[in-house]
Amino acid sequence: MKAIVYTAPEQFAVQDVPIPSIGPRQVLVRVRRCGICKTDLHIHHGRFISQFPLTPGHEFCGDIVDVGAEVTEWKIGDRVTCDNTVLCGYCFYCRRNQPLYCQNFYSLGCTGPGGLAEYVAVNADKAFPLADHVSYDQAAFTEPLACIVHGIDRLDPCCGDKVLIFGAGPAGNLLAQILKHCGAALVVVVASTRWKLDLLNRLGIEHTVLMDRDDYARHTNTVKRLAPEGYDIVIDATGYAPMIEHAFQFTKMGSKVLVYGVCNEEDTITVNPYWMFRNEITLFGSFAQTHCFDRALSYIERGMVQVEPLITHRLSLAEYGRALELLAEGKHNLKIMIHPTD
Ligand SMILES: [Zn+2]
Ligand SMILES: [Zn+2]
C-alpha cells in the first residue's frame, strides 16, 4: 500500500509498504479521508509527542476491510471513524481512571502508524459506526471535534457565560460552534483573517472582530465594548504564546483562561501571580482527548456543528508536501482533507 513514511523529522516520502497485519482484537480500515492540522506540522518538525519512523495522520475515517479473529462487533464494509488514542490500562493514571494521562500514551499518527496511508490497523474498541447520512468528510472531523469536547469538559462553562476566543482556524471555529450549545450567552471570536470570520458569521456566530496585528488597540476597544465587565471564559486557539498574555486583559474576576492552541515547547509566557490570586483566575490547558468520540459524533450526526464548510483543500498522499506548506502559511486554508485512496 501507499503511505507517508517519515524516517526522521522533516524527512518523508510516499512509500510502498506492506498492508498492516491486524491482531485478534483489531480491524483493518481502508482510509477514505484523513484531515490534517497544525499538530501535523509540529510532528513534521519532530515536536509534540512524535516518534520516528512514523506514518502520520490522526484524523481519519474509512471502511472496515478485515476483522481480527476475536472481533464479533464489526463486519467487513462497516463505515467507521476512529479514535487514534491507545491507552495501556495498567499504568498509574489508567488505574486512577485518568486514561488521558496514560504514562504509555500511544497515538496513531503521532507515536504509531496513522491514517496518511491506504490502510490503518485500529483496535476494535476505538472504531465508531457512521450513520448512513454522515459523509466521510464529516466523519474525518470527529477527532478534532472530540478534542474540543474534551476542552469544553475542562472549561465546564456556566449558563450565560461570555466567551472570548482568539483564533478562527478549525479549532477556534469548532470551539465557537460548540460553546453556543453549551449555554454561552455571548461568543466573540477575534482573528486576523477576514474570510475566516465571515465563515463564522455564516455559521451563526454573530460577533467576530478583525484583529490588526500591527495595531492591537483597534480590536481591543471593540472586544472590551462587547463585554465591559470582562469575559467569563477566554480561550487561546492560536498557539501563539504572546496572544495568551494579550488575552489576559479581557478577563474579569473569576475568569477561566484556556490554553487550547499548541505552542512550541520552548515558548514561555509571563503571568502576574498577584493578579491570579486577587481575581481568582483559573489558567489551564487541554490536551488531545480520549473517550469523547461518541459525543463529538452526536454533534455531527445531528447537524448541530457544521464541519463541511471548513474544508478548503483536497489533496492526495503524493501532495502531502504541498499540504504542509499550506498549513505553515495558514492564511488561505482551514481544513485540508487528504484522500489516501481516491
Ligand atoms: Zn488534528
Ligand atoms: Zn496507561
Let me know if residue 291 belongs to a domain.
no
CATH number, residue 167: 3.40.50.720
User: Does residue 57 contact residue 112 with C-beta atoms inside 8 Å?
Assistant: no
Where residue 23 sits, what CATH number does that domain have?
A: 3.90.180.10
Q: What is the pLDDT of residues 269-314, one digit of tens each?
A: 999 999 999 999 999 999 999 999 999 999 999 999 999 999 999 9
Q: Which of 12-21, 117-126, 138-147, 259-268 has the lowest mean pLDDT?
A: 259-268
The band of 342, judged by pLDDT with boundaries at 50, 70 and 90, is: confident
Give the Å distance between the CA of 56 and the centre of ligand 2.
22
Whether residues 150 and 135 fall in one domain: no
* Half-sphere CA count of 185, side-chain side, radius 13 A: 9
Domain shared by 73 and 137, yes or no: yes
Q: Are residues 279 and 215 in the same domain?
A: yes
Structure confidence at residue 213 (pLDDT): 86
120: CA distance to ligand 2 center in Å?
22
Q: Give the ligand with the smallest distance to the CA of 327.
A: 1
Q: Do 116 and 135 fall within a single domain?
A: yes
Do 132 and 13 lie in one domain? The reply is yes
In a domain, 293, yes or no: no
| Residue 42 resides in a domain | yes
For residue 192, what are the contacts with CB-CB under 8 A and spacing of at least 6?
210, 211, 212, 213
Residue 80, Cβ density class (10 Å: 0-12 exposed, 13-18 middle, ≥19 buried): buried
151 shares its domain with 204: yes
Based on the domain organization, do 95 and 154 belong to the same domain?
A: no
Q: Are residues 177 and 109 in the same domain?
A: no
**Is residue 298 a part of any domain in this protein?**
no
* Residues 152, 265 share a domain: yes
Query: What mean pLDDT, rounded, does the chain reach?
Result: 97
- In this prediction, what percent of the chain has a pLDDT beyond 70? 100
- Domain count of the chain? 2
- Overall average pLDDT of the 159-186 stretch: 97
- On whether residue 301 sits in a domain, the answer given is no
Beta strands 85-86 and 106-107, pairing class: antiparallel
Indicate if 153 and 281 belong to the same structural domain: yes
CA 291 to centroid of ligand 2, rounded, Å = 14
Q: Is 22 a domain residue?
A: yes
Task: Flag whether 332 is in a domain.
Answer: yes
CA-angle at 286, arms to 284 and 287, nearest 5°: 135
Cα-to-centroid distance, 280 and ligand 1 (Å): 32
Ligand nearest the Cα atom of residue 148: 1
| Domain end marker among 285, 315, 330 | 285
How many A from CA of 51 to the centre of ligand 1? 16
Do 271 and 311 fall into the same domain?
A: no
Residue 28: which domain range? 2-141+307-339
Tell how far the Cα of 103 is from the centroid of ligand 2, in angstroms: 5
Which 3 state secondary structure label does DSSP give 56? coil
pLDDT recorded at residue 252: 98
- pTM of the entire predicted model: 0.96
Residues 49 and 171 occupy one common structural domain: no
pLDDT in tens, 216-235: 999 999 999 999 999 999 99
CA of 40 from ligand 2 middle (Å) equals 24
- pLDDT tens-digit map of 200-209: 999 999 999 9
Instruction: Determine, yes or no, domain membership for 299.
Output: no
In terms of DSSP bridges, do strands 282-285 and 251-259 run parallel, antiparallel, or are they unpaired? parallel
